[in-house]
Amino acid sequence: MASDLKYQRILLKLSGEALGPKGFGIDAETVRRIASEVKRIHSLGVEIAIVVGGGNMWRGADAAATGIDRATADYVGMLATVMNSLVMQDAMEKLDMVTRVQTAIEMPPVAEPFIRRRAVRHLERGRVVILAAGSGNPFFTTDTAAALRAVELNAQVLLKATKVDGVYDDDPMRNRSARKFDELSYMQALTMGLKVMDSTALSLCKDNRLPIIVFNLHQPGALEAIIRGEKCGTLVTSDVEEPV
């Protein structure tokens, strides 16, 4: 493994919305482009685990608001993440990456069950591990699942891919004066209510001192730049005394 890389084992969190045009469905070209970005760092020897959301097909919280039982809605959302994971697997294997999909809900004909030691072994052998079905529990987001899996697999960083190049104090798509943060502490992100990850995920990262980098995956080369230690996106890390 290349010694000049800052991170040698990562967990990449992809939102389901990133896979489809206008945040809905699956766009094959977008999936291929994301797979190509992953290929760039995989070829450097980086060990990669991926958690994919399912919001391009189904959002449990939104569905529950229509009257569907929340637990049922969340289980349907977990199945959506499995579909997205299989699509990502296909795109990556077409680029000659060896992958494994592991699911938190067992479905042997489709994928392996999530077994931590097996997932670690896959990573050590250079396989990309795609982790589907969230944590397997309703009422928990895929952000929380990403934080949990990152800690379980001893990832050095959790990379959250978004549609913007970091964390802002307002929506930069609507407010051109929105301020971008280059670095934040976990507590600052929590107390300021910034949309980094949900509070459960943030707290889990804080308790385990797992750094989070929020970045724009659609920016070519951004993922590789982060792996090489270049400043990109917003770093959320240990608490600091200086006000942001």
Q: Residues within the annotated binding site for UMP? A: 54, 74, 135-142
Name the residue among 170, 167, 196, 200 with its Cα closest to residue 182: 167
The helix, strand and coil proportions of the chain, stated in percent and rounded to the nearest 5, come to 40, 20, 45
R_g (Cα) of the chain, nearest Å: 17
Is there a contact between 58 and 134 (Cβ–Cβ < 8 Å)?
no
Is there a contact between 5 and 228 (Cβ–Cβ < 8 Å)?
yes
Distances (CA, A) of 178 to 168, 175, 193: 6, 5, 15
Give CA angle at 168 (162, 171), nearest 5°: 80
Binding-site positions read 13-16, 54-55, 59, 74, 135-142, 162, 168, 171
Binding-site positions for ATP read 13-16, 55, 59, 162, 168, 171
CB atoms within 10 A of CB 115: 11
- Segment (H or E) for 150: helix 142-152
